[in-house]
A and B are shown apart, each in its own frame.
Chain A
Amino acid sequence: MKPTPKPRLWLATSLCIWVLCAWVAQQPAPARKPVAARATNPKSAVAGPPVRRKPLAPAHKPVTVTEAAAPGGLALATVATDPETGLALDKNLLLVKGQCTACHSSKLILQSHFDREKWTERIRWMQKTQKLWDLGETEPAILTYLTTYYGPVATPFDGRRLPLAAPGWYRNAER
């Protein structure tokens, strides 16, 4: 394909957009309106275990400190999250953003609680059926990231049914 002025213009425009996006992504961004603002309300975890309840990231903070399940879910660690994806900040977050949320929403990770074996199985499934590429030498680091922050939930629970999560109590019978 011969380069013509039009493709060059397209390229230049694309680069500008990329640079703009990258710049925006790095801003403290007081006015960025995250998707979560109207979404994933705490009720979504009605039947979930208490340890996985995460408050919404306030929209006005570049880096939010929130609760994430620690390995094994035994203790609540205070983990800073990435405002764009809600994923735990970590030296390996960039790997996850480049290879996981390139295709699908981070919400799929945020909802999950798997051990290393199950996360590995998920990656193999995506490679087999969803065109995920070979993660190469980054795979162990990604698996460590996923199991550290999105590992199995440990609860003193026999597996049959959890207590209901505390609802937002209200008095008015009329909705």
Chain B
Amino acid sequence: MENQSSPLFNRRGFLKAGSLTTLTALLGTNIVFADRLPPHYLPLAFDYPGSPTDPMAAKNKNLVILNDKPWNVETPAYLLDDAVTPADKMFIRNNGLIPEQPDAANWTLTVNGESVKAPKTYTLNDLKTKFTPYTYQLVLECGGNGRAGFFPKTSGNQWTEGGVSCAEWTGIRLKDLLADVGLTDSVVYIGYYGKDLHLSQDPNQPVISRGVPMAKALEDETLLAWAMNGQDIPLVHGYPLRLVIGGWPASVSGKWLHTIAVRNKVHDGAKMTGKSYRLPIHPVVPGVDPPASEFKIIESMPVKSVITSPRTGLELETGKPLALRGHAWAGDRSVKAVSVSIDFGATWQPADLAPAKNRLAWQHWTANVTLPTQGYYEIWARATDDAGVSQPMVMPQWNPEGYCNNACHRIAVKGV
């Protein structure tokens, strides 16, 4: 849609006063502050609920919509029960509008920035045919997963447990591509650029452009992926090409990827700066919001686990064994142990924990418990990573943007 050339707009992209007057007359009411509408803005969007590109059409109906402009949708814990997260149960965290009909046949990826010997552009077919493809199961977790558990409340979508997935991604290693491009000695960071559209519908306003330090970019598991679970990546998850960088806030895994900049400094794209995806350098009293200079970028996500079966709310016969299962993950680390408690953490019993399919994949755990008497119980799960760091049972370090809440997952059950 070329809003700029539409007759409703003047050449600067503002609604024409004449049109506005006519509209006002027709509607019999003022359009409040229409003169302050941003340039290019038409109150129409193409990924609205019920539209042909409504991402919820292909999703499990029990996913929870936190936001629909932009789309932010979480998966209830019990729907994360699959070993590998299927597309219909994968959470959505969008910052802008989904690009309309990306053209995979003519899709290109450009690598540029201060630290490339020369910029180079590849077609999607080049990537698929000229490099070795790899497949990994990779955990993608929203940096704000668990935000709903912070008090005082922090701004942003109120994710509970379900801003996490572990799907099987196929693509090429970013390090193979960067070796083919050729880098200088000045490399510090990579940053991505994608084709999503800003909510203001200004095509020149970047939506989100984040990245990782070179050491993370060059890991074997850092992929430029075109397939998820053996299929084309669904449009809402980045079709036809995206970065997949497991273990870090999922916002570093840029969707609808068209450019990677190799930087000679920490990438300074949209949502890399200010307080976005950052934590206070020094722990703060809950409710205290220090200046932006006192924040650091989130890197590896903390150790965490989820109980995927049973669904919270089960009433079961006292004395009968209850099988529990779930997953655990630990950012760049692996999970060493998972324990479960039915008495609010007074006692813990170890769960059986399987090794990860590959580095940065989540690990599956199982346990059996028995409720000794009638009444209300909570089942808690707690994972410990290979450095000996465990999930807290209470709210972890409060932070102004509400990131990295890895408090242990709890479900309610009743003995009857």
Interface residues of A (CB under 8 A from B): 1, 3, 7-8, 10-11, 14-15, 18-19, 22, 33, 35, 38-41, 43-49, 94-95, 97-99, 102-105, 107-108, 111-114, 118, 121-122, 125, 129-131, 133-134, 136, 138, 152-153, 155, 157, 159-162, 164, 166-171, 173, 175
Interface string of B81-98 (1 = CB under 8 A from A): 000000000000000000
By the criterion CB–CB under 8 Å, are B69 and A105 in contact? yes
Known: A22-B27, A168-B313. Contact between A95 and B151, CB under 8 A? no
Complex contacts, A113 vs chain B, CB 8 Å = 153
Complex contacts, B22 vs chain A, CB 8 Å = 15
* A46 to B, closest residue via Cβ: B160
- For the complex formed, measure the closest distance between the CB of A97 and the CB atoms of chain B, giving whole angstroms: 8
Say which size band chain B's interface belongs to: 35 or more
* A131 to B, closest residue via Cβ: B200
Interface string of B246-278 (1 = CB under 8 A from A): 000000000000000000000000100010000
By the criterion CB–CB under 8 Å, are A102 and B41 in contact? yes
Q: Is B296 an interface residue (CB 8 A)?
A: no
Q: List 28 A-B contacts (CB under 8 A).
A: A1-B7, A14-B6, A15-B23, A48-B148, A94-B32, A95-B33, A99-B32, A102-B41, A103-B38, A103-B200, A105-B68, A105-B69, A111-B158, A112-B155, A118-B155, A129-B270, A130-B199, A133-B38, A152-B153, A161-B407, A164-B410, A164-B412, A168-B313, A169-B314, A170-B315, A171-B314, A171-B315, A173-B322
Bound complex: CA A55 to CA B205 (Å): 37
4 new A-B contacts at CB < 8 Å, known A18-B23, A175-B309: A39-B68, A43-B76, A94-B32, A107-B69
Which 7 pairs show the lowest CB-CB distances between chains A and B?
A167-B313, A39-B65, A98-B32, A105-B69, A7-B7, A160-B394, A167-B312
Known: A14-B8, A131-B200. Contact between A35 and B315, CB under 8 A? no
- For the complex formed, measure the closest distance between the CB of B292 and the CB atoms of chain A, giving whole angstroms: 11
Bound complex: CA A156 to CA B296 (Å): 32
Complex contacts, B412 vs chain A, CB 8 Å = 164, 166-167
By the criterion CB–CB under 8 Å, are B56 and A38 in contact? yes
Bound complex: CA A44 to CA B75 (Å): 10
By the criterion CB–CB under 8 Å, are B407 and A104 in contact? no
Interface string of B386-413 (1 = CB under 8 A from A): 0000000111001000000001001110
Bound complex: CA A78 to CA B278 (Å): 38
By the criterion CB–CB under 8 Å, are A40 and B65 in contact? yes
Bound complex: CA A128 to CA B161 (Å): 31
Bound complex: CA A11 to CA B323 (Å): 63
* A119 to B, closest residue via Cβ: B155
Bound complex: CA A19 to CA B26 (Å): 7
* A96 to B, closest residue via Cβ: B32
- For the complex formed, measure the closest distance between the CB of B300 and the CB atoms of chain A, giving whole angstroms: 23
Q: Is B118 an interface residue (CB 8 A)?
A: no
- For the complex formed, measure the closest distance between the CB of B161 and the CB atoms of chain A, giving whole angstroms: 8
